[in-house]
Amino acid sequence: MRIGILAVQGAFIEHEKILTSLGHECVELRQKSDITNIDGLVLPGGESTVQGKLLRDLDMFDDIKARIDDGIPVLATCAGLILLSEKISNDANTYFATLPVTVKRNAYGRQLGSFEQVADFAGIGPVKMTFIRAPYIEKANDNVNILATIDGNIVATKYKNQIGLAFHPELGDDIRIHQMFCDLM
């Protein structure tokens, strides 16, 4: 399978390394022409406002949104989750709005509020989760599967072919979430 990884800003190389180790070809999405012939899409962490602006400036936004609307499997982490969310409670902006959830940006505070925690992940078991200036999901529509929570806050969801995570699974040695994403393809 050929997986497109948004590479305009943020932490994408770690995703690429894991997916390559699982036997997939990865292409870094840096311009509109890179979006063709991909079987899956990774929206990595970074700064969602900057990513959203660059997606529009580089004329990539509409093509990526169309691919998501058409059902391409998506793994979205941290800022990627914000890009997918239908609503951002503490920001008037929205981006792809394909995941029917309400997200709170920087819900755990600034960089100094970063932390790691192990929690149960539906279908996988205990997973070490790394949160860096992370959002969390305040509300999910009834048709969204909640995959993990921490202290009552939703931190992982699945809706159709979209996996939205508030944390960074690419920063550890556990490849099970990436494998779950690959299984959607």
- Tell me the CB-side half-sphere exposure of residue 185, using CA atoms within 13 A: 20
Beta carbons within 8 Å of 49's beta carbon, 6+ residues apart? 91, 93
Contact 170, 11 (CB under 8 A): yes
Active-site residue numbers?
78, 168, 170
Q: Give bridge partners of residue 140 from the DSSP assignment.
A: 101
Q: Which residues pair with 139 in a beta bridge?
A: 102
Residue 138 — φ and ψ, nearest 5°? -80, -30
Residue 177's φ and ψ, nearest 5 degrees, are -70, -40
- Is the sign of the CA dihedral 139, 82, 146, 159 positive or negative? positive
